[in-house]
Amino acid sequence: MSATPLPQGRLEQQLEDGKPLYTEGEAVAEAHRCLFCHDAPCITACPTGIDIPRFIRKIGTGNLRGSAQTILSANLLGYSCARVCPVEVLCAGACVYNAWERTPIAIGRLQRYATETLFAQGEAGTLLPRAAANGKRIACVGAGPASLAAAGYLALEGCEATVFDRNPLPGGLNTTGVAPYKMPAEGSLREFEFLASLGVRFEGGVEVGRDVPAAKLLADHDAVFLGPGLGGDTTLAIPGAEGAGVQGATAWIERMKLDPTASLAGVTRAIVVGGGNTAIDAARELAQLGVAEVSLLYRRTQADMSGYAHELEAARAEGVRFVERAVPAAFVRENSVLKALRLSDGREFPCELVVLAIGQASLAALAQAFPDVATDAKGRIVVDAETGATGNAKVWAGGDATGGELVVTGVQDGKRAARAIAKALGIPVRDDAPMLAGHGTVRT
């Protein structure tokens, strides 16, 4: 579906769409199940406050353009959110149908239907009202969901908004990390084309702090938004950790999604270490790619896991073996070839591949390159909760770098900062400005 070419032969292309695009008939039938609740709890549960019954009603009446407009004004990344949001614990989890033990409305699939159909018709670029150019220049660091949202909302108000990313491709983890059965990289790139059509500029392959110093970014722009996400995968300091066969989860997932030379040849037994959603994703991906034995090893019990229970159940259904109280002690190698993972209690798990999903470093050093931008003990950028403002009057921040964990919360952070930046720069914000859509609306 994307005009942006990616190389063929990537592993992610072998994975099937977990929730395929609805047909028109399916979408209309599902839309008609919605009760269009007054004070709808699904709206409150959406971090960006999309008017869910409103967009669903428009699908039911055949007004797809209006439906997409309702979604995308409140959430410029409403397409990727439709595909990657954990709706089970957000909007669909709050749907009134749950109280009657009936299947909640498939909000994510309906949202995907409206946005993807509009994208395919090539009309999305004219959906949202745009203000005349105002001469203000905004730099966003990182081209993930948080920065893209900030840049998109400010571009719509007439700013020149440029997003810089060290990666050659835009989209952040939507492109490099999200499980392909939710959304392949093409989906994220297609969404970026929509944002580009709103005026967002992209400078790929530019690492801020290395290729462009923080001081130059500040001097050349009226405001800077920091959305760099998190850094590299945490490693395990145990014997045998160095060498082939042991990989960090985000590094492995990125190769699986984007690198046509990535291969699972010779891997019949794989182990994923970790208890979060990234660990479960990696295990499900390996199982779906045909690895015969996939084990998910977690140091504590299921009750202590940060990963979603519904994702763990899905992993189990796909054949992933879940092992509790498993503390790695050493990688067993023969002639440097990985043979097994040994646990502290002596158990050994033979394997050809170990994927470590035990956390990611912070990018505190980048934040600290900007004067007066503070980080906390965990390396997260300290921001004002209402606005995303930092200690530097020209710098705002949001997304995972400030403690976020989801695409949708990153988007809301970007929208929140866009409102605050517009106010700080004295940009007149129109009454129908998309950045004002969604709950939490404040005329900042």
Ligand X SMILES: Cc1cc2nc3c(=O)[nH]c(=O)nc-3n(C[C@H](O)[C@H](O)[C@H](O)COP(=O)(O)OP(=O)(O)OC[C@H]3O[C@@H](n4cnc5c(N)ncnc54)[C@H](O)[C@@H]3O)c2cc1C
State the nearest-atom distance from the C-beta of 52 to ligand SF4, in Å: 5
Mapping DSSP to helix (H, G, I), strand (E, B) and coil, where does residue 363 land? Answer: coil
Binding site for ligand X (CB under 6 A): 84-85, 141-147, 164-167, 172-174, 177-179, 182, 207-209, 227-229, 250, 253, 278, 281, 363, 366, 399-401, 404-408, 410
φ, ψ at 355 (rounded to 5°): -110, 125
Under rule CB under 6 A, residue 107 binds ligand SF4: yes
* Residue 332 host element (H or E): strand 328-334
Q: How far is the CB of 413 from ligand X (least distance, A)?
A: 7
Q: CB 435 → ligand SF4: shortest distance, Å? A: 24
Please tell me whether residue 52 binds ligand SF4 under the rule CB under 6 A.
yes
Catalogue the E-assigned strands of 96-250: 137-141, 160-165, 201-204, 223-226, 246-248
In sequence order, what are the residues at sequence separation of 6 or more whose Cβ sits closer than 8 angstroms to the Cβ of residue 403? 378, 380
Q: Which C-beta is closer to ligand X: that of 167 or that of 288?
A: 167
Q: How far is CA 83 from CA 180, 308, 421, in A?
A: 10, 16, 29
Instruction: Please work out, in degrees rounded to the nearest 5, the angle formed at the alpha carbon of residue 43 by the alpha carbons of 38 and 46.
Output: 170
**Closest separation between CB of residue 66 and ligand X, Å?**
26
Residue 103 CB neighbours (<10 A): 12
Residue 95 interacting entry, from ligand X, ligand SF4, none, C-beta within 5 to 8 Å by type: ligand SF4
- Give the nearer residue to ligand X in terms of CB position, either 240 or 414: 414
Other CB atoms within 10 A of residue 341 CB? 27
Q: What is the smallest separation between the CB atom of 113 and ligand SF4, expressed in angstroms?
A: 14
Q: Which two tokens stand for residue 5?
A: 């070419």
Nearer to ligand SF4, 96 or 332 (CB): 96
Residue 80 binding target from ligand SF4, ligand X, none, CB below 5 to 8 Å by type = none
Query: Do 60 and 28 contact (CB within 8 A), yes or no?
Result: yes
The contact mask relative to ligand SF4 for 7-36 (x = CB under 6 A, - = no) is ---------------------------xxx
Provide the mask over 64-103, with x wherever binding to ligand SF4 is found by CB under 6 A and - wherever it is not: -------------------------------xxx------
Number of residues this chain uses to bind ligand SF4 (CB under 6 A)? 14
Residue 434 interacts with which of ligand X, ligand SF4, none, CB < 5 to 8 Å by class: none
Say how far apart CA 104 and CA 96 lie, in whole Å. 7
User: 390-393 long-range contacts, Cβ below 8 Å, gap at least 24?
Assistant: 390/226, 393/424
**C-beta closer to ligand SF4: residue 53 or 199:** 53
Q: Which of 27, 46, 47, 53 binds ligand SF4 (CB under 6 A)?
A: 53
Q: How far is the CB of 35 from ligand SF4 (least distance, A)?
A: 4
Residue type at 424? Answer: A
- Residue 107, contacted partner among ligand SF4, ligand X, none, CB below 5-8 A by kind: ligand SF4
- Of 395, 394, 367, which Cα lies nearest the Cα of 380? 367
Q: How far is the CB of 31 from ligand SF4 (least distance, A)?
A: 9
Question: Choosing among ligand X, ligand SF4, none, which partner's interface includes residue 278 (Cβ < 5 to 8 Å by kind)?
Answer: ligand X
3-state secondary structure of 47: coil
Buried b (16+ CB within 10 A) or exposed e, 20-39: eebeeeebbebbebbeeeee
Q: 228 is in the binding site of which of ligand SF4, ligand X, none (Cβ under 5 to 8 A by kind)?
A: ligand X
Residue 132: is it exposed, middle or buried by C-beta count within 10 angstroms (0-12/13-18/19+)? exposed
Among 2, 6, 21, 41, binds ligand SF4 (CB under 6 A): 41
Q: By CB under 6 A, name the binding residues for ligand SF4.
A: 34-37, 40-42, 52-53, 95-97, 105, 107
